[in-house]
Amino acid sequence: MLKKIVLLAATLLTMVSLANAETLINGAGATFPYPLYSKWFSEYAKIDKSVKFNYQSIGSGGGVKQITAQTVDFGASDAFLSDKELADAPGKLLHIPTVMGAVVVTYNVPGVPTGLKLKVEDVADIFLGKITKWNDPRIADDNKGVALPDKPIVVVHRSDGSGTTSIFTDFLSGVSGEWKSKVGQGKSVKWPVGLGGKGNEGVAGQIKTTQYTIGYVELAYAFENKLPFATLRNTSGHWVVPSIKTTSAAAAGAAKHMPADYRISLVNQPGKDAYPIVGFTWLLVYENQKDKAVGKKLVEFLNWELKKGQKMASALLYAPLPENVVKMVEKTIKTIK
């Protein structure tokens, strides 16, 4: 009888332990959406206490490698995968767009406030190393009354495989034929000039601590580090400040023609209010989940972020998904099994 009681007690303890077991969901990738993802994971843990997220903000290139190697439950990237990358994956990978963000041209020039005006073609020439001084007439002519110093421009770029770089070089390729032919677009490129920083954090840190620098980061990182950012003249000839409104304006037209796999570029979109350096960021999830228990919890989170999480995006300077895209993504999530 005693053995039966002990056995029953042990069984009950095991059942309680299993019921209270925490489901760990591992992810890795983009630094671009990290401030928002951190908020989402923290808030979701309050709703479902059985789930814990472990997200490594290592850059889109790292996220693509890890999800392809199946060492994480989801990847995160601001650059959509190529046909070859999708074919090389061991299963069908889905792109789940989460939010949109703006990549800003940020700088550290003593005495120059936020709002420095730059034509998009001049941005390309700076990163090509063709405009080398802050008081170059091409910059000075657009910034009358601003005391631009006779100092060399120090370019800062990403050193790691980066979706932010993919968005930025996609933009540069669209406004400069020379950039397109000499450097091109990608998560990693051979930079003509400049210093490297790892992650959006690394680039922001370099610019914050080094005078006369210029670089590119996601909008939230500029605000977080109190860095000024440029007003750009878009392809429609209008000067545009990066914001939620101008990010959404860039997506408005493209969203109407959203492909079923969500692989679309949002840079250099037409429209007077369209900020020219905008991109979706995606979670990369296998349609057929190896661990069904983890997959079920991941799907529950994806549905939550699509309905509730979107409302948190604007406060952290990300633009929520257009309504028609939300409806499309709902259907895509249902295919995960």
pLDDT in tens, 91-148: 999 999 999 999 999 999 999 988 899 999 999 999 999 999 999 999 999 999 999 9
How many CA atoms are closer than 13 Å to the CA of 134, on its beta-carbon side?
21
Which of 286, 261, 292, 303 is CA-nearest to residue 71? 286
Those residues with Cβ within 8 angstroms of residue 256's Cβ, 6 or more apart along the chain or in another chain: 324
The residue assigned the tokens 């993919």 is 166
Those residues with Cβ within 8 angstroms of residue 196's Cβ, 6 or more apart along the chain or in another chain: 156, 157, 158, 159, 202
Question: What is the number of other CB atoms lying within 10 angstroms of the CB of residue 133?
Answer: 15
Domain 102-255 bears CATH identifier 3.40.190.10? yes
- Residues 321-330, mean pLDDT to the nearest whole number: 95
pLDDT in tens, 52-77: 999 999 999 999 999 999 999 999 99
Residue 48 is encoded by which pair of tokens? 């479902």
The type of residue at 294 is V
Angle between helix axes 120-128 and 163-175 (nearest 10 degrees) is: 110
Angle between helix axes 292-307 and 34-47 (nearest 10 degrees) is: 110
| Second-level CATH architecture of 23-100+280-333 | 3-Layer(aba) Sandwich (3.40)
Longest CA pairwise span in the chain (Å): 94
pLDDT in tens, 211-261: 999 999 999 999 999 999 999 999 889 999 999 999 999 988 787 889 999
231 - beta bridge partners? Answer: 117
- Residues 161-177, mean pLDDT to the nearest whole number: 96
15: pLDDT strictly greater than 60: no
Residue 26 has what pLDDT?
Answer: 98
The residue assigned the tokens 């034509």 is 119
Residue 253 has what pLDDT?
Answer: 78
CB of 84 closer than 8 Å to CB of 186: no
Q: What's the sign of the alpha-carbon dihedral 145, 151, 152, 155? A: negative
Residue 25 has what pLDDT?
Answer: 97
8: pLDDT strictly greater than 70: no
Those residues with Cβ within 8 angstroms of residue 15's Cβ, 6 or more apart along the chain or in another chain: none
280 - beta bridge partners? Answer: 100
How far apart CA 301 and CA 44 sit, in angstroms, is 7
Consecutive H or E run containing 91 = none
Which of 33, 18, 197 is CA-nearest to residue 106? 197
pLDDT in tens, 261-310: 999 999 999 999 999 999 999 999 999 999 999 999 999 999 999 999 99
DSSP string, 283-300: EEEESS-SSHHHHHHHHH
pLDDT in tens, 175-210: 999 999 999 999 999 999 999 999 999 999 999 999
How far apart CA 41 and CA 248 sit, in angstroms, is 24
3-class DSSP assignment, residue 185: coil
Angle between helix axes 163-175 and 60-68 (nearest 10 degrees) is: 120
6: pLDDT strictly greater than 60: no
For the chain, which residues make up each domain, given as ranges?
Answer: 23-100+280-333, 102-255
How far apart CA 176 and CA 198 sit, in angstroms, is 25
Q: Does this chain's domain 23-100+280-333 share its CATH topology with 102-255?
A: yes
How far apart CA 38 and CA 27 sit, in angstroms, is 12
Residue 21 has what pLDDT?
Answer: 61
Angle between helix axes 323-333 and 292-307 (nearest 10 degrees) is: 170
Question: What is the number of other CB atoms lying within 10 angstroms of the CB of residue 177?
Answer: 11
- Residues 143-170, mean pLDDT to the nearest whole number: 96
Strand order in the sheet with 231-233: 117-119, 231-233, 239-240
Q: What's the sign of the alpha-carbon dihedral 148, 154, 160, 165? A: positive
Residue 244 is encoded by which pair of tokens? 């939620």
